[in-house]
Structure 1
Amino acid sequence: MGTADSDIVFQSYGRCCNNEQFFVDFYDRFMGSSDEVRALFVDTDMKQQRHLLRNGIMQLVMHARGMPDSKLRALGQSHSRNGYNIRPEWYRLWLDALLDTLRQHDGEFSAEVESAWRRAILPGIELIRDAY
């Protein structure tokens, strides 16, 4: 993955992450994608969850920019069958919700930006998912 992709993604996320509504809209989409996913968040403090999401996306972005994968490996463990039991097929729903929310909130979103996001964060998502 080139530095151009990670720069595009870093800037795109920067345009979105200072707006709390971005994270609210993401969870509306993600929870709307499946009854099973919605059930995961029944007893969740969503304000805290949005804070965790903000950090998690930043970890994916920073990994794409060359940071070590230790934080993503820890996320993989916490989300594995021995942790939150986040099933592998849910990661596609998560990515779709993220891209749809970026499309809504990033005024410079384009096919190029979407492709850069996919190339940049898929390796990190796969690292987390493969810990299942």
Structure 2
Amino acid sequence: MQQAASDIVFQSYGRCCNNEQFFIDFYDRFMSSSDEVRALFVDTDMKQQRHLLRNGIMQLVLHSRGMPDTKLRALGESHSRRGYGIQPQWYSLWLQALIDTVRKHDPEFDENTEASWREAIGPGIELIRGAY
């Protein structure tokens, strides 16, 4: 029996969360993806930001496992043009930075893991992006 993408992602994320360096490495990758993205974090408390990231990814994972989209809708609103002004094109950079960081930190990462991440959290990311 093939394991559901959301189960694979839940387990993969659990392995990544075992090391706080995962979140540091994510932001290093994400901020190096674009000068515009780097500028977003100039005056940011990165310890707090990493905590928010941990929770945000978990919300995406839980949504893929059937949780209501209430928290993702709130994230979409806070990241929209009425909030932080996160440009829609930056979400693909965010997702690629996440995949690359999971690849580095999940010892069981393979092509199926990557495909599962994209399948499981893609709809949640689109929900957030769509609020722009």
Q: TM-score range by the shorter chain?
A: over 0.9
Structure 2: distance between partners of 1:45 and 1:108: 31
Contact 1:31–1:37 (Cα < 8 Å) also in 2? yes
TM-score (normalised: structure 2): 0.98
The residue correspondences of 1:1-132 to structure 2 (distance < 5 A) are 4-132=4-132
- Number of residue equivalences: 131
Contact 1:3–1:65 (Cα < 8 Å) also in 2? no
Structure 1: distance between partners of 2:117 and 2:75: 19
The one-letter code sitting in structure 2 at the alignment partner of 1:50 is R
Two-structure CA RMSD over aligned residues (Å): 1.0
Secondary structure of 2:83's counterpart equals coil
Structure 2: distance between partners of 1:59 and 1:89: 21
Task: Structure 1 unaligned segments of length 5 or more: list them.
Answer: none
Structure 2: distance between partners of 1:125 and 1:78: 14
Task: Structure 2 unaligned segments of length 5 or more: list them.
Answer: none
Give aligned-pair identity as a percent. 79
Contact 1:76–1:130 (Cα < 8 Å) also in 2? yes
Structure 1: distance between partners of 2:60 and 2:3: 14
Runs of 4+ residues deviating >3 angstroms: none
TM-score (normalised: structure 1): 0.98
